[in-house]
Structure 1
Amino acid sequence: MTNLRTKDIIALGFMTFALFIGAGNIIFPPIVAQQAGEHVWLAALGFLITAVGLPVLTIMALSKTEGSIAILSSPLGKVASLILTVVCYLTVGPLFATPRTATVSYEIGFSPYFGNGNAALFTYSVIYFAFVTAVSLYPNKLLDTVGHVLAPLKIFALAILGVAAFIIPTGSISPAINNYVASPVSEGIVSGYLTMDTLGALVFGIVIIHAIHSRGVTDKKLVTRYAIIASLISGVGLTLVYLSLFKLGLGSHDVAPNAANGAVILHAYVQHAFGDLGSLFLTALIFIACMVTSIGLTCACAEYFSELTKIPYKILVLILVLFSLVMSNLGLTKLIAFSVPVLSAIYPPAIVVILLSFFWKKFNRPSAVIAPVTAISFLFGIIEGIKVTSFKNYLPEIVQTLPLNEQNLAWLIPSLIVLIICVVIDKVKK
């Protein structure tokens, strides 16, 4: 029986952590902190529940199914399970998340030097995806390239930023604004929920399992154990990074008053803390952060669609990278406009499937419980998706009166009600 060496277990945890931390994870907490003001740690509590807790639970759930979303969602039935799996992979892969890593890393790190022209973005994205392709073509070496090299570089850069946030403060704490005044915890929960890391975790599960297999570990119990350890290491890392970024954004009002987004705060802070070298440091950090996430997404999508279609893995890597290259040159605004409604619709059913997977053995017929609850969460997820489009005015008035509608969690209470009903029926009918 093959066991992982300690250094490989640590590298696996580092790799899992690095896969999650993209540009969005780095630029989002500072703006939450600035807007939450004196209520920042209440908002942080809510944020950590959904931005750390849910992704870690997702990896744990997938560790028992060899990283397969299809097995995890099997109680939905073959057709519904296939649709959910394919949509998850496409959405957080070549349709949105992978191209976004290139677009965001360019806009944050390189546009100050090369401008916002189409030619500059195209040249950058070609170079960027050439790196992604070079690493993604060899998934069995992922633990070596990402776990032992890229992830430590990423962690080192984040550690510098995190330590600086505590020893080089920026200024006074600003008052809370918007929903952070009255309900900082629930607003933090929604903010963490909207990072979409849980969907990312659904895709990364297969990458983590294959990384364990690449070291010759085949025993299912050991694979599950190592995946759970990796998820816990990544959870600790994510928590430390988010707390330091909240601290960074907490006093940022003096250097970046009323910032439009977290990127503005980060630029202002690194300039304040490190001078002109700060911009170069931020560029390197964002580049590595996005690169690792893009590699993970490309490998995961190629692995899944290779199993589904029997097309060779390396050919799929090239197809996915070329598609992502084209999509990245549409621009960030169009990418977001296209993807957010889809993400809003599939996130609720994905959460339901993940959480209920831990209770399969408690149900007499898991499909009779999980399928109806997932269906109702998907129905309300579609409503959430419509709410962020130009068709929102066509929704009936009653939608606006639903509990937790303002927090984008209108699906939660109906799903809980259907869950209770289905569990009772399941127990009574046996």
Structure 2
Amino acid sequence: MALGFMTFAFFLGAGNIIFPPQAGQQAGDHLVPAMLGFFSTGVTLPLVAIIAVAVAGGWKGMTQDLPSKVATLLAVLIFIVIGPAFAAPRAGLVAYEMGVKPFIADAGQLSLTLFSIVFFGIAMVLSRSRGNLVDMVGKFLTPILFIALVALAVSVVANPQDAIEAARGDYIEMPFLKGFVEGYNTLDAVAALLFGMVIVDAVRSKGVSDEQATRKYLVMAGLIAAAGLAFVYISLFYLGATSVNIAADASNGGDILAIYVAALFGPAGQMMLSLIVLLACLTTVVGLISACSEYFSSLTSWSYEKWAVVLSVTCCVVANVGLNQLIVLSLPALFALYPIAMALVILTFIRRWLPNPALSYRVVMLVALSFSMIDAAKVAGFNVSAFRVLPLFDYGMAWLMPTFAALVVTYFVGAQKAAQQEGQTA
């Protein structure tokens, strides 16, 4: 249970809190299909990714059919984006914007800088004590966070502030696909590939050395985390759907949540929301810094502890860019990375049935990367209308059909080569 709570806390960060309310508000009466789409990339895929890590025995097992340098480069890029470049600083910024800034009369750059130093300093201390992560996060921080989330969820369901109205924007025609793409913002499917390493390390620090037992704990932790995330998303989607009038002028999901909680609980609500956001973002940052430090220390002569310090300081510096700017900058990276992560997870599960795993892995991953760059370029504002002929281009999923086609083609090509080799041998 403690391991599962720790995993849930690592996943539950900035994106999980600020994006579902906004999606729920726009989805309106199409709430259910939008929520199911969001669940696909925000709950199911992270769980499947955790299981894939368990099945493959870690990152090396998942990328064994890729050239070693390519596998290392891919891991480094994912770790940079999920760690010091975007996800960890974003969590710190959300913690500041929603957990501290409302209580500061003249909040400015100085207050953000001071908060960043304190916040990432605490994260650094917790990350350096990696052997005690399960105890500190799973047994103490997360139960407090979960109790606060349950109180919020019960209040939202018992006393909704508005009626659910008609869907808006893309949620009118394609609620499931829009929710599916919005789930990218959580970054959880990519993070799951990395958190798996931290979970394995935490299990082993408790004296579990058997590989089968480690996999069992990894899968159970993933199931507990997925259940917790589903509970949070359902309540936040419903909160957003019943906030159309009360939070009509809100600019983002964080504003919707803050306005709603203030209406439900008054000033005490702001304190509760601050507690939820601060704990959620802190535990996520601890998980991200731990995962990045673990990996980078395996590549270099620097120790885990030294990397934890360097990454914490880097996150602190990047966080001072500002939340809106960081979200804008991170979107292209999300659209580029998510398809690669999905392709890798799928390949991991079907590897045993592939006639030529090396061929399939290399071609499918290359195709997924190439076409995901089109979606990333479109999100970044570049004119890529020439690729509109691709299926699902308008939905931000131009990568899907070409990647599936590459998988089918490499399967039959691999089977044909295997048959030819058998014939020559005979």
Task: Name the TM-score, length of structure 1 as normaliser.
Answer: 0.94
Which residue of structure 1 aligns with residue 125 of structure 2? Answer: 134
Pick one of 33, 38, 59 that aligns with 2:29: 38
Q: 1 CA distance for matches of 2:150 and 2:117? A: 30
Q: Is the 8 A contact 2:91 2:281 kept in 1?
A: yes
Which residue of structure 1 aligns with residue 54 of structure 2? Answer: 63
SS in 2 for 1:217: coil
Alignment partner of 1:335 is 2:326: yes
Q: Is the 8 A contact 2:336 2:376 kept in 1?
A: yes
Structure 1 gap ranges (5+): 1-9
Q: 1 CA distance for matches of 2:328 and 2:30? A: 31
Pick one of 397, 400, 412 that aligns with 2:388: 400
SS in 1 for 2:186: coil
Which residue of structure 1 aligns with residue 95 of structure 2? Answer: 105
Alignment partner of 1:418 is 2:409: no
Pick one of 212, 216, 236 that aligns with 1:225: 216
Alignment partner of 1:379 is 2:370: yes
Give the fraction of aligned pairs with identical amino acids, expressed as a percent: 37
Q: 2 CA distance for matches of 1:410 and 1:203? A: 26
CA offsets 1:160-200 (integer angstroms, 9 cap, x no match): 11111111111211111111111111211111233221111
1:202 shift after superposition: 1.4
Pick one of 121, 125, 144 that aligns with 2:135: 144
Which residue of structure 2 aligns with residue 239 of structure 1? Answer: 230
Alignment partner of 1:302 is 2:293: yes
Q: 2 CA distance for matches of 1:338 and 1:50? A: 20
| Amino acid across the alignment from 2:48 | L
Task: Name the Cα RMSD after superposition.
Answer: 1.3
SS in 2 for 1:174: coil
| Amino acid across the alignment from 2:25 | Q
Q: 1 CA distance for matches of 2:238 and 2:206? A: 39
Judged with a 3 Å threshold, the aligned counterparts in structure 2 of structure 1 residues 194 and 399 are, in CA distance, closer, same or farther, namely farther
Q: Is the 8 A contact 1:70 1:82 kept in 2?
A: no
| Amino acid across the alignment from 1:106 | Y
Q: 1 CA distance for matches of 2:86 and 2:244? A: 32
Q: 2 CA distance for matches of 1:193 and 1:314? A: 31
**In the TM superposition, what are the counterparts of 1:246-257 in structure 2 within 5 Å?**
246-257=237-248
Pick one of 18, 21, 24 that aligns with 2:12: 21
1:258 shift after superposition: 5.2
CA offsets 1:65-108 (integer angstroms, 9 cap, x no match): 44x32431222211211111000111100111111111111012
Which residue of structure 2 aligns with residue 6 of structure 1? Answer: none
Alignment partner of 1:155 is 2:143: no
SS in 1 for 2:83: coil
1:343 shift after superposition: 2.6
Which residue of structure 2 aligns with residue 361 of structure 1? Answer: 352
CA offsets 1:120-150 (integer angstroms, 9 cap, x no match): 0011111111211111111010000001011
| Amino acid across the alignment from 2:326 | L
Q: 2 CA distance for matches of 1:275 and 1:325? A: 32
SS in 2 for 1:260: coil
1:208 shift after superposition: 0.7
Q: Is the 8 A contact 2:63 2:71 kept in 1?
A: yes
Q: 2 CA distance for matches of 1:42 and 1:341? A: 25
Which residue of structure 1 aligns with residue 308 of structure 2? Answer: 317
Q: 2 CA distance for matches of 1:133 and 1:418? A: 43
Judged with a 3 Å threshold, the aligned counterparts in structure 2 of structure 1 residues 23 and 194 are, in CA distance, closer, same or farther, namely closer
Which residue of structure 2 aligns with residue 172 of structure 1? Answer: 163
Task: Name the TM-score, length of structure 2 as normaliser.
Answer: 0.95
Judged with a 3 Å threshold, the aligned counterparts in structure 2 of structure 1 residues 49 and 337 are, in CA distance, closer, same or farther, namely closer
Comparing 255-264 with 276-285, which one deviates more in the overlay? 255-264
Which residue of structure 1 aligns with residue 82 of structure 2? Answer: 92
Which residue of structure 1 aligns with residue 177 of structure 2? Answer: 186
Q: 2 CA distance for matches of 1:25 and 1:70? A: 28
Comparing 240-249 with 292-301, which one deviates more in the overlay? 240-249
Pick one of 32, 52, 68 that aligns with 1:78: 68
Judged with a 3 Å threshold, the aligned counterparts in structure 2 of structure 1 residues 49 and 389 are, in CA distance, closer, same or farther, namely closer
| Amino acid across the alignment from 2:74 | L
Q: 2 CA distance for matches of 1:11 and 1:65? A: 24
CA offsets 1:257-281 (integer angstroms, 9 cap, x no match): 2532211211111111111111111
1:385 shift after superposition: 1.8
Q: How many residues align?
A: 417
